[in-house]
Structure 1
Amino acid sequence: MKNTAFEHIAQQWFAAFNTHNLEELLALYDEQAIHFSPKLKVRKPETEGLIKGKSALREWWKDSFDRLPALRYQPTSFTANEQRVFMEYIRSVTGEPDMLIAEVLEISDGKINASRVYHG
């Protein structure tokens, strides 16, 4: 895949996330994908911030969408190479200050196989 294809996956990711379309979001991921997030570490300490597989991703995002119906991400930049796309975005949710986020999506065979979130 070319870098622009990875950027397209990132754009699809934001579209699915911001409409809280769980099935479209999960369709972008490999069955055994891993996801690391500082929010996971806080909310579910037993995970140490790391979950694996689509069922764990489904549970995590469903909980987030249910708890935070106004949660939205505003992308500010994408940088892609042959293996990953680095995304920067602003996390907005009612009642909380906006947060600058960076996230790396590792992609192979057209699917996200790993994602790592970093908070600014």
Structure 2
Amino acid sequence: MSTPEPGEFARAWSAAWNHRDVEAVLAHFHDDVVFSSPVAAELLPGTAGVVRGKAALREYWSTALAAHPELHFDVLGVYRGQGVLVINYRNERGGLVNEVLEFDGGLVRRGHGAYLD
């Protein structure tokens, strides 16, 4: 399994988030993506924090942006594994977050948001 070049991907990913461009972020994801996050559990009750499909992911991220108008990500590091990128970043509240992205054919098939408690 291949992954995109880590630095380029992280720059494009964070620029899309920081410009609040959900469609640019979604361009990196398969239509049948599965994404898990404790924030999704808070914002989308009934999902148990698991969002399935690009349309549902669009709804989740649009809801998150509306709830956090000050959202901003500063990438601290990017790590490559077998078909996986991990983006370590600091969010607008100073919290440390890891985004674990599993790739299939150059697009993200599964993603996981992991937050430092």
Please report the TM-score for the alignment, with normalisation by the length of structure 2.
Answer: 0.89
Asked if 1:114 is matched to 2:113, the reply is no
1:79-94 pair list within 5 angstroms: 79-92=79-92
Cα distance, 1:46–1:110 mapped onto 2, change above 3 Å: same
Gaps of 5+ in 2: none
Runs of 4+ in 1 over 6 A off after TM superposition: none
Aligned in 2, Cα 1:2/1:112: closer, same or farther, shift over 3 Å?
closer
What is the 5 A alignment of 1:57-96?
A: 57-92=57-92
Aligned positions of 1:1-120 closer than 5 A: 5-92=5-92, 97-120=93-116
> 1:29–1:111: 8 Å Cα contact kept in structure 2?
yes
Change in Cα spacing, 1:69 to 1:113, as seen in structure 2 (3 Å) is same
Count of residues paired in the alignment:
116
Q: CA-atom RMSD, angstroms?
A: 1.7
Q: Sequence identity of aligned pairs in percent?
A: 26
Amino acid at match of 1:5: E
TM-score, with normalisation over the residues of structure 1?
0.87
- Equivalent residues of 1:35, 1:115 under 8 A apart: yes
Cα contact 2:2–2:83 (8 A) shared by 1: no
Q: Which has the higher helix share?
A: 1
Deviation of 1:53 after TM superposition, in Å, equals 0.6
Alpha-carbon distance, 1:2 to partner:
5.6
